[in-house]
Structure 1
């Protein structure tokens, strides 16, 4: 066996965990996460700290492991419920990115769509005197409609005038940010917090300080809905004609058009669905985890959702698990910083590394495929 063939064979054997193409949608993201934590551990070691202790503190802060002590009315359960509360809008936002990606579109306007939906739901329902049984479902409905309209506008501009969706969504982000800021400052400002006035508890999608078993916990009412919507989106994309046509348009627009699929209509529909999901993210964020809107600020969650969608391989079920992981890192960073003496920005470094390694997934698949071909050729030549 030649030296080059030996190297090829060795590389192929070392990559055995990700060689099976059937399992690559799972094994490659898992490998990305492991590499990210390994690199983060090296950085923490260079800072003179114990990475194992730091990661343990990270999981403690997120409610995965118990803390040594808790404040009054708090426990591991309350921390975990806060994690789910923060995770809920991230699941919706990541699904919004994934649906657009399936149609070959890149929706980076999720933050703007979240803000627009949250603001519309706030002024229509959040400040009303409606009963909770009416207000909460109405908030969700308005969020979907508002986000869907904004997303549909992006799809229509793409179809009608061929304006790239990245440009459109960036511009709409700025428009939403500053127009809504104008209305908040002039009509809805809270003079103390300098944010929009707080919404009524009846309209809020998180039960705050709910007392049970001598604990005060935040219960995310939208979490079960987020899981159900993820399952529905999987069914829609994999088992329906609509999902097939959206994926066909995303794979090859010319071929889809040749087979009779209405490319423009499906692009608009995909962006309406994407925007509707972003709208659900907006109302579960601004009328759930929070109860007001900070003027001139776009939440970073809309941009984090891109990383989550990539890590989850744009698969709805994968997105649930990747949202859970990113939320753990985000929620546990403060406690890790206080206990391990590591700056909170290390959590952002870990998330950035996960995104970096996830973005290399296509390259890894290509290299594995090439090594597999070379290994087959080597065995054929030896036989």
Structure 2
């Protein structure tokens, strides 16, 4: 066999698992994850550690695998529920980015939308003294409205004045960060924690330290809602006129306008939906996973969600799985560090590698199409 033949054979064997276009939204991220874990294993080996043991400890820390021992009132179930609690706002935030991507927009202002929604829900409901039956739904409603209004403003600026959404969202992030920091430090600061005063437990979207079967667990009420909304977003995008119009303007705005689609109105609507999802991320984060707001700090979830959405191919169901994977790595890194003797920064290396290889998705699709074209040409020449 010639050198070129061997090279082509190797290339084809590597490309074959992702050659089916129908399954590429799943196969390409999966291949990216496998390659990234192999690369991370090499890094861990270079450090003189056992990568299999490190990954095992990582999954133990996230509640996927059992630990040898647990503290009082804790178990693998409590660790897993903590994982879902951390994952919930990430799912909402990643869905927000995904919807904007579908419309050809880049919502980099998710962190600011989260902060505004969380702050308004905190001062309106968190400090109000309402009972749980009224408080929890009202928190969700305020989050959606506040985030939707901020997202709609970005969409309107894009439509009316053609202001790039990246610029406007970054500016709104800064405005939200410092204005809200001013109000917290002036009126709502806790003198001990130097954060906003803690909200009432009845308005919190996570049930904390619920005692069941001699276990104390945190139950994230927003998790089921996140799954339902992801399925709803998929339905809207695949089966409704609105979803078709959003994807049409994302593919080609000029062609969509020529086809009679209201590009401006659809742009605003897409950003309203994106902002509303970011608002839900905000209330499940600041009134769920946490119960207060740190001044002058934007949540990293708003920026992580961009990468998570890319890993999930901006597909609502893909976003759930990619959020789960990133949350597992993020939540399990402390235990991995303590048990395997590996620095916590390795988890960031793993996440970075996953996202690096995921960013090569379009290149892989191009490579697949090129291999198929060469195969067709070869068969035609042989015939």
Name the TM-score class by shorter chain: over 0.9
Q: Structure 1's 3 and 68: CA in aligned 2 closer, same or farther, altered over 3 A? A: closer
Structure 2 Cα separation of the partners of residues 249 and 91 of structure 1: 24
Q: How far did residue 266 of structure 1 move? A: 0.4
Partner of 2:279: 279
Structure 2 Cα separation of the partners of residues 169 and 360 of structure 1: 26
SS in 2 for 1:15: helix
Alignment of 1:1-383 (within 5 A): 4=4, 7-383=7-383
CA contact (8 A) 1:8 1:374 kept: no
| Structure 1 stretches lacking a partner, 5+ long | none
TM-score, with normalisation over the residues of structure 1? 0.99
Structure 2 Cα separation of the partners of residues 307 and 105 of structure 1: 15
Q: Deviations over 1:145-172 (max 9, x none)?
A: 0000000000000111111000111111
Q: Deviations over 1:237-288 (max 9, x none)?
A: 1100000000001000000000100000000000000000000000000000
Structure 2 Cα separation of the partners of residues 349 and 296 of structure 1: 27
Q: How far did residue 307 of structure 1 move? A: 1.1
TM-score, with normalisation over the residues of structure 2? 0.99
CA contact (8 A) 1:8 1:375 kept: no
Q: How far did residue 7 of structure 1 move? A: 2.9
SS in 1 for 2:190: coil
Q: How far did residue 376 of structure 1 move? A: 1.1
Q: Deviations over 1:290-316 (max 9, x none)?
A: 000000001111111111101111000
Structure 2 Cα separation of the partners of residues 120 and 140 of structure 1: 11
CA contact (8 A) 1:9 1:375 kept: no
Structure 2 Cα separation of the partners of residues 212 and 9 of structure 1: 57
Q: Deviations over 1:118-149 (max 9, x none)?
A: 00100000001101000000000000000000
Structure 1 Cα separation of the partners of residues 355 and 209 of structure 2: 34
Q: How far did residue 375 of structure 1 move? A: 1.1
Shifted more, 77-86 versus 6-15: the winner is 6-15
Q: Structure 1's 373 and 292: CA in aligned 2 closer, same or farther, altered over 3 A? A: same
Q: How far did residue 6 of structure 1 move? A: 5.2
Q: How far did residue 9 of structure 1 move? A: 4.2
Q: How far did residue 16 of structure 1 move? A: 1.2
Structure 2 Cα separation of the partners of residues 342 and 13 of structure 1: 34
Q: How far did residue 337 of structure 1 move? A: 0.6
Structure 1 Cα separation of the partners of residues 53 and 271 of structure 2: 44
Structure 1 Cα separation of the partners of residues 6 and 33 of structure 2: 29
